């Protein structure tokens, strides 16, 4: 069912349906078939696809070399609340037509921030009343909310890591309101992306003090959220740099160490983003493996970088190989813990037709669906798992097993090595593994 306000923003585009890979209708899914079972679960539930409010309904295509190219009709009214309501109408029309179940937002994506904190709070209350009604009428859900504590000039030196306590307190107030809004809208998770939690220069930075502040601040936010009855998961979204030269939430491994250091590991997991992984010099699969190894694979921000440059281009996913590798880890980890796949991706600046937003999300969803199907086949029907397991077979019996069980001491290794003689080389078979993946793609 499509629920529209008085105004239709995406005219001429109806509900997007699954038509299968034989279809040549650009406005249809070729692989994403929401009810189709993969590994015993419908695709819809595996993915929990979400639309990112900021890119899809706030982004204008502006870049450092020129102004925006996308003129959104919902931005027309000068009254911020009226503009916020129209934006919500457009968002709900789009997401409903697309057939996704979720959205994600920053506080001031929903409505423009006011001049004072008190007036901003009031605006957030009013716009969230309106959005709550739309959620109830449409059945759309909130995957996660977050606060934008990086755009306003007050945050130029960071939010929770700001050297000025007054700014830290201001960030606390803002995140309290964002959490309140998330809870009010039934948000399933809450995300922290510390855009400016890092430094531009170590010369003027007390790194240890800033890390301690961040750890304490996140613990306070967690305690507040839990006291308000929030049952969802808190996520940290790692990113190594941009906008700062160095960000404390550098990558999955760094964040996991940080969470454990500050006693946050039971309430926090990771929201991993493809283009952040590549900025950190990793692959998305690497970041997912690290998170999964610690039981912290919480959610995914889906996008991709450009292979010819080194910044956060936030393009829609379309690389089957990259996403297939990620889906291998996804399936082996038993999926995501609490989160979903949020398209934190934006149209190119010269993609200016209203239908382009549909095409982009359709392509992204199809890339994930196709990759999931391939990954399922690789795991179920190919020798992949067996080949990998065989590399470790020396730990499945005898002294190897005793080692894993903690039954050997260091001197035992010495005696074993003395007795075993020359060990033959074991091939890692990397090319065999690579060929196998391509065979199934």
Whole-number minimum distance, CB 245 to ligand XUL, in Å?
15
Q: Which is nearer to ligand XUL, 72 or 239 (CB)?
A: 239
Which residue's Cβ has the minimum distance to ligand XUL? 193
Cα gap 105→92, rounded to integer Å? 13
Residue among 89, 101, 107, 109 flagged as catalytic = 109
Residue among 106, 213, 276, 286 flagged as catalytic = 106
| Binding map of ligand XUL across residues 136-155, x = CB under 6 A, - = no contact | ----------x---------
| Binding map of ligand XUL across residues 341-380, x = CB under 6 A, - = no contact | ---x------------------------------------
Q: Which is nearer to ligand XUL, 43 or 221 (CB)?
A: 221
| C-alpha gyration radius of the chain | 24
- Residue 54 DSSP code: I
The entry of ligand XUL, Co ion, none near residue 109 (CB within 5 to 8 angstroms by kind) is none
Cα gap 310→181, rounded to integer Å? 35
Cα gap 155→170, rounded to integer Å? 9
Of residues 212-241, which lie at the interface with ligand XUL (CB under 6 A)?
Answer: 237, 239
Of residues 314-343, which lie at the interface with ligand XUL (CB under 6 A)?
Answer: none
Count each helix (H run) and each strand (E run) in the chain, helices first.
16, 14
Task: Please say if 356 is a catalytic residue.
Answer: no
Q: Which is nearer to ligand XUL, 50 or 127 (CB)?
A: 50
Cα gap 274→287, rounded to integer Å? 9
Cα gap 142→37, rounded to integer Å? 23
Task: Please say if 46 is a catalytic residue.
Answer: no
Look at residues 416, 392, 415, 414 and name the one whose alpha carbon lies nearest to residue 404: 392
The entry of Co ion, ligand XUL, none near residue 210 (CB within 5 to 8 angstroms by kind) is none
Residues that bind Co ion (CB under 5 A): 273, 301, 344
Q: What is Dmax (Cα atoms) for the chain?
A: 82
Q: Which is nearer to ligand XUL, 106 or 304 (CB)?
A: 106
The entry of ligand XUL, Co ion, none near residue 239 (CB within 5 to 8 angstroms by kind) is ligand XUL
Long-range contacts of 430-439 (CB under 8 A, 24+ apart): 432/387, 433/384, 433/387, 433/388, 436/378, 436/382, 436/383, 436/384, 436/387, 437/321, 437/324, 437/325, 437/378, 437/384, 438/321, 439/382
Whole-number minimum distance, CB 343 to ligand XUL, in Å?
11
Of 180, 267, 273, 289, the one binding ligand XUL (CB under 6 A) is 273
Cα gap 109→379, rounded to integer Å? 40
Buried b / exposed e along 286-317 (16+ C-beta atoms within 10 A): bbbbbbbebebbbbbbbbbbeeeeeebbbbbb
The entry of ligand XUL, Co ion, none near residue 312 (CB within 5 to 8 angstroms by kind) is ligand XUL
Q: Which is nearer to ligand XUL, 51 or 191 (CB)?
A: 191
The entry of ligand XUL, Co ion, none near residue 287 (CB within 5 to 8 angstroms by kind) is none
Catalytic residues: 106, 109
Question: Where do contacts with ligand XUL occur on this chain (CB under 6 A)?
Answer: 106, 146, 191, 193, 237, 239, 273, 301, 312, 344
């Amino acid at each position: 069912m499509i629920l529209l306000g008085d105004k239709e923003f995406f005219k001429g585009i109806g509900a997007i349906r699954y038509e299968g890979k034989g279809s040549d209708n650009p406005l249809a899914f070729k692989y994403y078939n929401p009810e189709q079972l993969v590994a015993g679960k419908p695709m819809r539930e595996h993915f929990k696809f979400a639309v990112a409010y900021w890119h899809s309904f706030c982004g204008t295509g502006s870049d450092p070399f020129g102004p925006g190219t996308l003129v959104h009709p919902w931005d027309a009214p000068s009254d911020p609340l009226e503009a916020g309501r129209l934006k919500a109408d457009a968002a709900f029309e789009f997401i409903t037509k697309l057939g996704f179940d979720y959205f994600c937002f920053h506080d001031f994506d929903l409505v423009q921030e006011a001049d004072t904190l008190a007036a901003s709070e009031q605006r957030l209350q009013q716009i969230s009343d309106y959005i709550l009604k739309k959620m109830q009428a449409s059945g759309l859900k909130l995957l996660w909310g977050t606060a934008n504590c990086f755009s306003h000039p007050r945050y130029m030196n960071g939010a929770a890591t700001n050297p000025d306590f007054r700014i830290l307190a201001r960030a606390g107030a803002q995140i309290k309101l964002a959490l309140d809004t998330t809870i009010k809208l039934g948000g399933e998770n809450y995300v922290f992306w510390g855009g400016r939690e890092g430094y531009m220069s170590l010369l003027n930075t007390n790194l240890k003090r800033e890390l301690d502040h961040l750890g304490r601040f996140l613990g306070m936010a967690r305690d507040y959220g839990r006291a308000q009855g929030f049952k969802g998961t808190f996520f940290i979204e790692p990113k190594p740099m941009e906008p700062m030269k160095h960000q404390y939430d550098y990558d999955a491994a760094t964040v996991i160490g940080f969470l454990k250091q500050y006693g946050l590991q039971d309430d926090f997991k990771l929201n991993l983003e493809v283009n952040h992984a590549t900025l950190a010099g990793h692959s998305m699969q690497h970041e997912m493996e690290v998170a999964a190894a610690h039981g912290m694979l919480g959610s995914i921000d889906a996008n991709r970088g450009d292979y010819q440059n080194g910044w956060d281009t936030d393009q829609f996913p379309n690389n089957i190989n990259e996403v297939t590798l990620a889906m291998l880890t996804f399936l082996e980890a038993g999926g995501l813990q609490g989160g979903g796949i949020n398209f934190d991706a934006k149209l190119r600046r010269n993609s200016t037709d209203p239908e382009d937003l549909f095409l982009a999300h359709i392509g992204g969803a199809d890339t994930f669906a196709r990759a999931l199907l391939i990954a399922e086949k690789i795991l179920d029907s190919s020798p992949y798992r067996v080949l990998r397991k065989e590399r470790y077979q020396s730990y499945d019996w005898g002294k190897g097993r005793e080692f894993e069980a903690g039954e050997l001491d260091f001197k035992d290794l010495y005696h074993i090595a003395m007795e075993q003689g020359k060990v033959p080389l074991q091939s890692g078979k990397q090319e065999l593994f690579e060929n196998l993946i391509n065979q199934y793609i």
